[in-house]
Structure formats: structure tokens, C-alpha cells
Structure 1
């Protein structure tokens, strides 16, 4: 049990720890203008090295810089100025943030675009002059001008990094360009500068594609809302969402999006909740139902009482968690960064040896071997390797969020695809979590509708979940309830009341066994699968063996019938578990505190192979640990509220129904935003697709480097081929990663169908 302490405590004490940690909450800054992942990583290291900073983490896609410790904004802004970054305190009301970020990046990119165009123009002029045998001075001047315009941003970054002995990408490129000029290779120096500037523009564009999914989430909620205020006049005013107070009444017209989380107090409509749950089918809602910011009201006018501030809305929390998730590095990403850290200095040393050793010891031509060393220096930049993982992870997490699947970091994205077994909680996971009437068996001349009406009438004053299920079933059949007098709850047995002057009991077998009625034989009023003239107790036992709760209805002298209630298996459970098996999940388990008969019935209906019943919370942990000892990586799927110790102990904790449930959003590693188990196979498929793409990227990046290094020695690798290989690889792995933005549940289902 000691192994569960750390993670379990974070789950079970979320509310209390919030208050305790609020005094040391990290500072969040916004960094605009990021177009290069390697530069962003370097900037993050510089911030980390500032005095008083304990920990710094930069999300290169969203620009969120999270700092623990003392924050010197001015010092950070000076560091950012070296990369043309604009840095300010983060504002959580995301509209202004999104617009200023876009404006800042566009302004920065405009200058880069102008320099790129000018560099391209003068590079072309230089080549044309050479090909037409024009003046040599004109050609050299054109190449030098192209070199300055194309490499300006790179030169500025290098001038700040070189004095600190930080041999980053900008330093390597600058040395290569200046070295080419020094040995008279004007054309190649200018070409390298131009291609590098072009690659930066393309990398910025691909990063924008990654940002777009977050911006789409930010733009889901309206920025203003119509609110009714004033007790007597009831004036409707349109105000920004930041000014809306808890308890305000929002007026939602047909076709409008809901701006804030709240509860309907008037009106009926169907709401499109795809933004929150990923469910494309509109959900019918009326008075008392909860609604979420960013959802679309399809037809009816609604009055909604605001229950959460704009920064606390479900969509705001989703955006925040997705942004946080993108900063959590996966093991594959950590490996790449460790590899790059060792690889870069080794290749730099090799480039120096290639440039110096052959001329110095074997008298070979200096210019030729310096050129080869410079080419190796260019190709040494691990740009493609560095971006091979984070863009794929960001794309996968963003795509999942768009389909109601919230993955809280690259670690969990990687782990869920490697699962060997999955354990499910029963109630609210494999089952709907809400009891429903499954059987109405009337005896004698009583009809089934009359029995249900009588049972519901007796239960009408009760607040018990089983009583509510019976009342709901009667309402669904259009039955009107009779007045009940002298109602009394019988703890542990049932209830009693007077209907039409007749005392009616409803309860379990114990209640009627005490009256000596359970051994009576049933004379069924309809032709059912249960045969006539069967002892009533045998009928009860058969229903219980099916996982149902049998509630008998009768008076002092006889049993009138049985109403069976059960927490039904979700319609999607069996199909989902079958798909999980098809995906290679070796074993599926169910852990429940329910009785063995119910557990056996639910397991049979849902297709669970192994189940354990009557487990207390700590016993579920013990059962899970045995499964983990056998299979290694095991996920626990629950409702995010119960079974906290088991969720904490699992490799990946998966919570059902995160929409509107703070506990699920805060505690689980992966959240299925709607009570939709079908998203679980998609999560596994998305993980495996992401890891496949990451492996492709890493393999391709390393292979290009190996080929380029081997091509140096015979002199096949030119400078412009080196930059093309390096930056071309970067663009290709980024574009390959962006394919994940198109991998939704539909793509997964098509792939699965084609394989089958």
C-alpha cells in the first residue's frame, strides 16, 4: 500500500492542497513570437539559469512560460528580446491573449518575410549575373547582400550566444556561412543563409498549424453575453464575459452559443456539446440541467443562471489542462533531448578534426577540408531530431481534446498505447450508474401497468435511488400516480403506504419472508419466460442471478408482483471491450464492491473475462497490484471520484465523464469528457499512431545525419546540400507530425474496418 501514497494523496486531497499551495503558485508569463522549437528550448534554459528561478517550463506552441521561484520580468524580457519575443504576464481570459499573440507573431514574421524576399531576389541576381558572365563584382555584391538579408536574424542570435560559449543552431549556421565566405564560396554562403531563412519561415508556419487547435478551443466561447439584471425592470444588457457575476441570468436565443457555465432555469432546447464532450448528437436539456460555455443552443430560448466564472468554466479548464499537457515531456522526448545533448558536441568536434587534421598531418588542401568541416558543421544541427517528438505529441493531445478525449501529458499519451491490461470499475463505467426498471412481473389478475403504477405511488414520497427508478419508469409509460397516505420507510427492507385505502408494501425478500409469503407459488398474469406455478422465491433468485434487484409488491395477505431494477450495462460496453481486445489488450478485468451474482451477470453481458466482487477500496488496490505484477502496464478506468486509491496505483488513471466534474478533470491522467467508453479504443489508437510517427521521425532524422556525415569524407556533401538536408528534414518531420491533426475517431474506425 505504501506505493500508492504519493499519487493517491494527490487525488484524495486535491481540495485541501489547493489552499496550501496557493501561496507558492507558479507565475505564468506569455511569450509571443516563437517560431523555432530549438530557439524556444534555448530560451527556456536561459530563464532557468536566472537567479531565484527554481524551475522554468516553456510551451513552445502556446507560448506559456511557467516559472517557479522569483520572477524578474525585466530580465526575462531582455532575454526574450534576443529572440524577438514579446513577453508579458499571462491573462487567462483567452481572447485578448490570442489576438495579441497573433498580432505579435505576424509583425515579427512580416519582417522575416521581407528579408527572405530580398535575400531570394539578390541570390537570384547573383546567379543570373554569373550565368550571363556579368561583372564579377556585381555577382559577389549580390551574393553578399543576399547573405546579409537571409542571415541577419541568425547573425544577431549568434552574436549573443557565442560570447556565452553556447554552440546552438544559430552559431553553427553563422560559422558555416562566414567560413564559406572566407574560402571564397560566395554562392554557397548566400544559398545557406537564404535556405535557413526559408526553413525558419516554414517552421513558423507548421508551428502555427499546431497552435490552431488551441486557438479553436479559445474561440469556442462568445466574448460577450446578454444578461438580465434588475429586480423590477429586468433590463437585458450585453456585457463582456469577464464582467458577468455568479448568479446572473443569461438570455440565450436560438442559434447562439452559451458564454458561461450555468444551469437552465427556464426553457427547453437541444444543445450541441461537441466542444466539451466530442459528442456530435445534440443533447435535449431543460430546467435544472447544467450547460457549458462554448456549446450551441439549437432552437429554444433559454434563461441560464451563471454558476461559474469565465476562468473557471469547463472549457477554460480544458484549455488550461491541454496547455499544461503539452509541457509534460514523454519518455521518447526526454530520450531525444539527451541524445541531442551528447550528439551535437561530438559532431562539432568531428567537424573541427576534419577541417584541421588532413591538411595539418597529410598536407592536403586546407580550403577543401575546411569546406568539408563547415558542411559537417551545418548538417550537425539536430533540428529535425529536436522537433521530431514535441510536435507529434502536441498534435495528438490537441486532436484528442477536440474529440472529448483529454490526455494530460506526453507521458500518458505514450503509456496508454503500451497497455497490456485494463481494469474497469463497474458502477458508472461499464454500467450507466443509474438504476432502471428491467422487469415488471404481475401475479393473478393484476396487469403489469397496474403493478408499476401501484409500486410508483407507494414510492412517490421516497428519495431512495431504487424508488426514483420505479417512479421514472411509471412516468415514462404515462402512468399517473395515486395519492399515498401513511407512508413509512422501512430501513433495510423497503417502504409501506396506503393507496386507495389499502396498505401496500414494497421491499426486499426479507420483508416478505417475515410475513411468510415468499414460499407462495406464482400465478403469472402474462405469458413470460418464467413458468407458471413457480415458487416466488425462485423467481427472485433467478432475477438476482441476472444481476437485478428484485423488489416485491404486496399487501398483508399476498404478493401482487415483482418489480426488478438494475444498473444496466452501457450499450457500448460489450463492443468497446471487443475493440480493446482487437487492439491487443490481453486481459480485461472488472473490480466491484457489488455482490458476486450481480458482478457475474454484468461481466457476462459486457464481455469481461475476469472479475472480482465485494472488494473494498484497499482490496481493489491489492487486486490491481497483482494484475500489474502479471502484465506490467495496467490502466484503471473509473468515474474519477470513487476508487481513488486504485486509480492512483494504476499506470494510467482514466476517468469517465469529465464534463462538469471537477474531480475527474483534476485527478485522472486521461479524461473521457463524455460518459463514452468508445473513446477508450480511440485513445489507444491515437497513442500508437503518435508513437509510430515519432519513431518514423527519429529514425529519419538520425538516418539523414548518418548519410550526411558519411558523404563528407568523399567530398559529396556541399554546404547547400547540408542545409537542405538539415532544414528539409526538420520540415518533413514536422509535416509528418501534423498528420495527427487529421487522425480523429473516424480515421481510426476506417483503419480498423480495413484491417478487419
Structure 2
């Protein structure tokens, strides 16, 4: 499939009509016009000249480059404003000329103003009439012809001007949403400074290969994913993670393409070509997300197909029934019927959802929250239960010493450090992190042996020592005090590492998976945001599960679960309501796929992006409540938009009963609904700025 950017798409209905025409061409069956993002996708074998002719029939064109797109937006908007301005001046002049008795001249001015204000609508509407296609332009054209036929020149002209203004404002609203998305997508760097044989040269990022070394100066963007080979600096990763605070980077540390080097100079070894980088994947998914259809949008599209013919039938009944049954004048009823046609334009209804959804996806992407489509944004707003994996999600996934009991403190710490220093086991690393807090004289073991599943034995200064689980202490007769301490730590859900000589236990470490600092706050914020139930699913034993659940505030918890048991638990929970599952995107893949919505976290890892419906690009849960609140807001706005667009039309239609509906009231009701729907939808893009405060050595973000 080949992709083109389009200019001049006037409305969703028109885009759908153009798509139908292209489908009739050879190799055109798979073509699609994406109105929200202004794109055309067609088979490479299609005759593009024929496609251009079809597009031109509705004033749409393929654009060749971004400069011409910008020029079109500026020129197209200016031209429309100029025509509308001229038609308003001529309309005012016609009213004056008519008031001083020059009726014939006034009609000429009205007609000229009508042509300038509604020429595009009229010409397209006439084409539609001949093709028996009934859409917005068709309705407006019939109304204009009817107004001219009964001599309502003034009101017909006003209808043409107001509809032209309505189309301009409608396009402006969609363009604002598209522009916001385009600005987001423009974060990708265009060029890089490549170092080859000590020589620097500027190349395009598409030409970079794996293992290339690039130079990134202060203020420049890192061209693709890689790691630092030389230099030290802070890097702004907001384009990827949505985090406003810079991250310190030095030699050996990974960096994301699209992140900005704040100061100093970095040399980066490229590990992924740009097309495979995290940023490229994010931008591609965000761009595609604009044009996914939600159930609400699909319903509106289906409804609109039946809505227009129904409105035409209602209009015909308004024209015919009152004169036949209630002795009302034919001219008056005909006028009322024309007004009903105008009221029936479904512009506002069609726009009630897409602008809000694009704005929601864009706003989330700015915050480092990747939503893969409008359907998932809508789904997130309906979620009432969130299930969390424990390890790496609510906890850091790194063991740390939570409690330490020393019976012979100096010997205990020295022996533990001397034995564990060479071990790569995660529990050994946790022990070393703890003992490094003390100034110790670490010894070199004379002999050392690892016993699988139990621990390590070592000889230090001619004495044999043991470090490991309770099982590795089987050679000892444990005192009541030691037994009591072991039992107490186990009841707290801690994993034990004991150190002993050949005669007694020297001390013990109680190790746990460290709970993330934000977990408790996030769970509370989710409950405040309307999530009714929070659940923790973990493979750890029940005591550990209970401890973490109580610490973070989840309402339910289940321990000792295998991956397939997590899936079964998710299936059980889905019977009670809409459920989202959040995990690291790798081990929890089956559960993520089974839930109504899969949410992954992990700073843009490939697996997270591939698996989930929604990805938190940060390495924490901090932005999740924001995403939930925003999606609920988008859903509320869409419902409000639908109520407004249908409500204003209903009020206008009710005015036909006493015969008070006029053409200009009809167009104002339609235009008013469109403007309201657009403005309300664009409020989703508004985001309060975050203040960074330092408190007690910790960084806090506050909204202002």
C-alpha cells in the first residue's frame, strides 16, 4: 500500500463518497481515505491519475511535500475567508439597495453573494442530485434552489453565507486537532552527526546503521536508540516517556532516539536503525491511532446513512401535510419544509466524536501514554476494574533488605559481605547493597562453594561459614530466639537469608521486593477517578501478596498464581464488569490479551509496544490515573456533543409546529451545534503546566 497526504477534504461524508468512487477503479478495492489524519492509502498498482481526478471532483488533492501542505492551509483558509467576507459585504449592500426600492439590482447582489458564499456547496450538491446521492451538500442545494424558487432571496443568501462559515469553522476545528497531532509527530530528528574514522559529517537519520557512532551536542536530539560510549549529560526523554525531568546519562547507559541532550557532548553507539527505534514505533502507532473507529463513531456513521433520507421524508411531509389537512398555505409549508432540510444537516453529529478522540490520543501521547486507537481510549473510559501484576508493576522488581537482625553484628556483616561480594544472585546483590552502608573490612575467601537451592559455604581465616536459606542451616541446632525471629519474618512475607558459623547463627536478612513509592498514591487516585475495584495478581505466596496489597491499598489480591491461572482469574473478573490488566508486557502477555484492555509499562520496550492496547512509556504507574481521567472526560464530551447536536435540531424542528422555523434559524441551529461540538472537543487538548518542586530530596510534580 502507498500512502499520500491530502488537502481539501471538506467533511467525513465527502471523504467516504470519494473512497467509494476510488473503490470502483481497477486495484482500488483496498483504498481508504482517512479523514481524521488527512491521508490516502492505495494499492501501488492503481492508476494515480484517475485517483487525482476523483479527488479533484470534490476539491481535494494529493500534496507533494510538507511545504505545500502548509501553503495550502494558509492559502485555502485565506481564500475562504476572503470569499465569505466579500459575500457578507454584498449581502449587506443588497439589503440596503432593496430598502431603497431597487429590487432587481438587489436580486443580482443577493445572487452574487450566494454564489461566493456557497458556490462549492451548490456545485457539489447539483452533482449529487444527478447521481442520486443525498448528503449535506445535497440537502443545502435543495434548500437553496427552493428558496430561490419561492423568491426568498435574502434568506437563501443568508443560508449560503452561514453554511460557508459553518464549513470553514468545521474545517478549522479539525485542522486544529490535526495540527496538534502533527506537532507531536514532528519530534523526530531529521539529521545526525556521524563519526567515521575520526571525521564528522551530517547524514540523514534514515541512513544510520547499527553500530554507527554519532555525536550529539547540547540542545540536539539523539537520532535513534543506542547507548552512550563517551561523555556525561542529562537527557530530556519527554518525547518518549512524557517525563519533564531530565535523566542523567553516562558511558554504558541506554538512550532513546528523539530525546534531547541538555548539556555537554555525548557520543552514542546506534543499536537500532531509526525505523526500528522506540520513537519511530510510537509515532507510527500514534498516527495510525487517529483513524481507528470507536463503536460510537461506527454507530453514528451507520445512523447518518439512514438519517438523511428520513430528514428528506420529514421535510416532504412538512411541505404537504399542513396544506392538505390543516388548510395552511402551500408557500408557507414549502418554506418550512426547506428549513427542516437545513436543520437535518448532520455536520455536528458526525463531528461529535473524532475531534475529541484525536485530542485525547494527542494529549495522552504528550504525557508518554501511548493509546493504540480511539477504540481503546473509549474502552479505558468504561473500565471499572484494574488488575495489576505485582513484580515490576506495583513493586520495583528488585529485592531489597527490609529487615535485618544481627546477633553478632560486626561478624555478621563482615562475613555476609565477604561471601556475597562475588555472587550475581539477586538476593546477594540486595545483601551487598545493605552491607555497603557500613564501613567493613571485607575478607577474601580461601575456599568458596555454591550449594544449589540453599546458599554458599566459604572458608575465611581458616573458619567455615554458611550463608543462605533456612535449609542451609540444617547442621545447627537453632535457639528459640532464632526460631521465633525466623517465624516472625516469614509471617511478614519476607524471604530469609541467614549467615552462620559452624556453631551459631550470626544474623539474618529479611528480603522483599521493594514497593514503588508511587503505588499507594496511584491506587488511591484511581479509586478517586472512578475505578471501583483494584486487584493484584501474583505468583508470589499469599503472605507476600497480602503484605503488598495492604501496603498499596488494592481491594483484592490473589497469590500463588501461575500465568494460566492469572488468565482464568481475569476471565472470572470480566464477568463482573470491564477490566484492564496492567503488567510488564512480557510475562503477563496472556493476561493482557485476555482482559478487555491490556496496559503495559516499561519505558518503551519492544514487547510492551507490541502486546498492549495502551502503553505507559515511563517506568512507573504515575501517569495511569491521568490517562483514566482523560479517557472518561473524552467519553463524557462525546455524549454531551451528541446530546447538543441532536437537542438543538430537535428544538428547531419543534418550531415547525407553530410555523416559527425560518431558514436562518435552521442554519444557525446547525452551525451553533457544530461550533459548540468543535470547541468543547478541543478543550481536551488543554493541559495545565507542571511545576517541579524539590522536597526532602525527592522530586514532586504539581499541577498549577
Instruction: Specify if TM > 0.5.
Output: yes
Partner SS, residue 102 of structure 1: helix
Indicate the larger mover: 454-463 or 75-84: 454-463
5 Å-filtered alignment, 1:573-652, equals 573-629=519-575, 631-652=576-597
Measure, in 2, the Cα distance between the counterparts of 1:457 and 1:38: 74
1:128 to 93, 96, 99: 96
Instruction: Report the CA distance between 1:650 and its aligned residue.
Output: 0.9
Quick check: 1:260 aligned with 2:219? no
Measure, in 2, the Cα distance between the counterparts of 1:623 and 1:116: 61
1:461/1:333 CA distance change after superposition, 3 Å: same
- Corresponding residue for 1:176? 143
1:501/1:210 CA distance change after superposition, 3 Å: farther
2:54 to 79, 96, 105: 79
1:539 to 477, 485, 497: 485
1:482/1:722 CA distance change after superposition, 3 Å: farther
5 Å-filtered alignment, 1:584-733, equals 584-629=530-575, 631-657=576-602, 659-733=603-677
- Corresponding residue for 2:701? none
Instruction: Report the CA distance between 1:505 and its aligned residue.
Output: 3.2
Quick check: 1:381 aligned with 2:345? yes
Instruction: Report the CA distance between 1:297 and its aligned residue.
Output: 1.8
Partner SS, residue 655 of structure 2: helix
1:565 to 511, 535, 542: 511
Quick check: 1:303 aligned with 2:267? yes
1:740 to 681, 684, 687: 684
Q: How many residues align?
A: 691
2:430 to 450, 457, 469: 469
2:196 to 224, 229, 233: 229
1:445/1:400 CA distance change after superposition, 3 Å: closer
1:314 to 255, 278, 302: 278
| Contact kept? 1:686, 1:743, Cα under 8 Å | no
TM-score using structure 1 length: 0.85
1:554/1:368 CA distance change after superposition, 3 Å: same
Instruction: Report the CA distance between 1:239 and its aligned residue.
Output: 2.2
Instruction: Report the CA distance between 1:704 and its aligned residue.
Output: 1.1
1:238/1:175 CA distance change after superposition, 3 Å: same
Measure, in 2, the Cα distance between the counterparts of 1:740 and 1:746: 17
Deviations 1:697-727 (A, max 9, x none): 1111111111111212433222122112112
1:704/1:51 CA distance change after superposition, 3 Å: farther
1:202 to 157, 165, 169: 169
Instruction: Report the CA distance between 1:157 and its aligned residue.
Output: 2.2
Quick check: 1:146 aligned with 2:113? yes
- Corresponding residue for 2:290? 326
Instruction: Report the CA distance between 1:593 and its aligned residue.
Output: 0.9
1:251/1:474 CA distance change after superposition, 3 Å: farther
Measure, in 1, the Cα distance between the counterparts of 2:682 and 2:120: 26
Indicate the larger mover: 174-183 or 578-587: 578-587
- Corresponding residue for 1:109? 77
Instruction: Report the CA distance between 1:285 and its aligned residue.
Output: 2.1
5 Å-filtered alignment, 1:179-190, equals 179-190=146-157
Measure, in 2, the Cα distance between the counterparts of 1:250 and 1:736: 45
Deviations 1:240-285 (A, max 9, x none): 2222222221212223332322211122222222222122222222
Instruction: Report the CA distance between 1:38 and its aligned residue.
Output: 3.5
- Corresponding residue for 1:391? 355
Deviations 1:1-59 (A, max 9, x none): xxxxxxxxxxxxxxxxxxxxxxxxx5544323335334334334444565555555543
- Corresponding residue for 2:696? none
Structure 1 unmatched ranges of 5 or more: 1-25, 90-95, 522-533, 748-756
Measure, in 2, the Cα distance between the counterparts of 1:76 and 1:474: 72
Measure, in 2, the Cα distance between the counterparts of 1:219 and 1:486: 60
1:239 to 195, 203, 206: 203
Measure, in 2, the Cα distance between the counterparts of 1:497 and 1:226: 53
| Contact kept? 1:384, 1:730, Cα under 8 Å | yes
- Corresponding residue for 1:162? 129
1:372/1:50 CA distance change after superposition, 3 Å: farther
Partner SS, residue 427 of structure 2: helix
Instruction: Report the CA distance between 1:327 and its aligned residue.
Output: 1.8
| Contact kept? 2:189, 2:222, Cα under 8 Å | yes
Instruction: Report the CA distance between 1:675 and its aligned residue.
Output: 2.5
Instruction: Report the CA distance between 1:614 and its aligned residue.
Output: 1.3
Instruction: Report the CA distance between 1:119 and its aligned residue.
Output: 1.9
1:146/1:690 CA distance change after superposition, 3 Å: same
Measure, in 1, the Cα distance between the counterparts of 2:231 and 2:435: 24
Partner SS, residue 434 of structure 1: strand
Measure, in 2, the Cα distance between the counterparts of 1:412 and 1:163: 41
Partner SS, residue 446 of structure 1: helix
Instruction: Report the CA distance between 1:410 and its aligned residue.
Output: 2.4
Structure 2 unmatched ranges of 5 or more: 692-704
1:363/1:613 CA distance change after superposition, 3 Å: closer
| Contact kept? 1:214, 1:319, Cα under 8 Å | no
1:557/1:52 CA distance change after superposition, 3 Å: same
| Contact kept? 2:234, 2:261, Cα under 8 Å | yes
Measure, in 2, the Cα distance between the counterparts of 1:312 and 1:509: 47
| Contact kept? 2:447, 2:460, Cα under 8 Å | no
5 Å-filtered alignment, 1:441-452, equals 441-446=405-410, 451=413
| Contact kept? 1:461, 1:487, Cα under 8 Å | no
1:549 to 483, 491, 495: 495
